[in-house]
């Protein structure tokens, strides 16, 4: 028996917070952002809704960055860049996702690929600039 999905203002606020942020927020960021507007919001409610949204395909996890799972409201295939220094996560919309890669994996390994992700790791422009400025001041 399927349960009806209940509408709630908190659930809507959580989803909007993810979809309106380009920062790829964590559950804690969402909680602290929404808590002033929704005083009865709990961190558990945020986590439960994030799991629900993932299961429904409404958001995706970008992975764990600096100990916190980060989320993306954009579910179309795209790549990410993660800064190893500050933890910034950026969409790489101009890097095309190669559909042939999935086909190659299927053919080589005899599996069925449902989706694939591509994430680059390194140092963002801001952190590189800060390092450069620190070197000049030293």
Whole-angstrom Cα distance, residue 38 to residue 10? 7
Residues 69 and 132 in one domain: no
Higher pLDDT, 36 or 3: 36
Whole-angstrom Cα distance, residue 88 to residue 10? 26
Which pLDDT value is given to residue 5?
63
Sign of the four-CA dihedral 63, 66, 29, 120: negative
Residues 123 and 63 in one domain: no
Which pLDDT value is given to residue 4?
54
Residue 1 pLDDT level (bands cut at 50, 70, 90): very low
Tens-digit pLDDT profile for residues 76-121: 889 999 999 999 999 998 888 887 888 999 999 999 998 888 999 9
Contact between residue 59 and residue 51 where contact means Cβ atoms under 8 Å apart: no
Residues 61 and 7 in one domain: yes
Residues 62 and 109 in one domain: no
Task: Look up the domain containing 6 and give its range.
Answer: 1-74
Tens-digit pLDDT profile for residues 14-28: 999 999 999 999 999
Question: Would you tell me how many other CB atoms lie within 10 Å of the CB of residue 88?
Answer: 17
**The domain spanning residue 34 has which CATH number?**
1.10.10.10
Which pLDDT value is given to residue 2?
47
Residues sharing a CB contact under 8 Å with residue 74, sequence separation 6 or more, in sequence order = 19, 60, 91
Q: For the chain, give me the number of helices (H) and strands (E)? A: 5, 5
């Amino acid at each position: 028996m399927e349960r009806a999905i209940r509408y709630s203002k908190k659930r809507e606020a959580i989803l909007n917070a993810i979809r309106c942020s380009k920062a790829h927020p964590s559950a804690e960021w969402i909680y602290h952002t929404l808590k002033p507007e929704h005083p009865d919001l709990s961190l558990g409610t945020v986590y439960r809704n994030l799991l629900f949204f993932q299961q429904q395909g409404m958001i995706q996890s970008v992975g764990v960055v600096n100990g916190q799972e980060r989320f993306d409201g954009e579910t179309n295939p795209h790549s990410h860049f993660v800064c190893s220094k500050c933890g910034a996560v950026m969409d790489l919309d101009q890097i095309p996702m190669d559909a042939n890669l999935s086909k190659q994996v299927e053919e080589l390994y005899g599996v069925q690929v449902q989706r694939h992700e591509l994430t680059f790791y390194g140092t963002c422009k801001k952190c590189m600039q800060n390092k450069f400025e620190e070197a000049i001041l030293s």
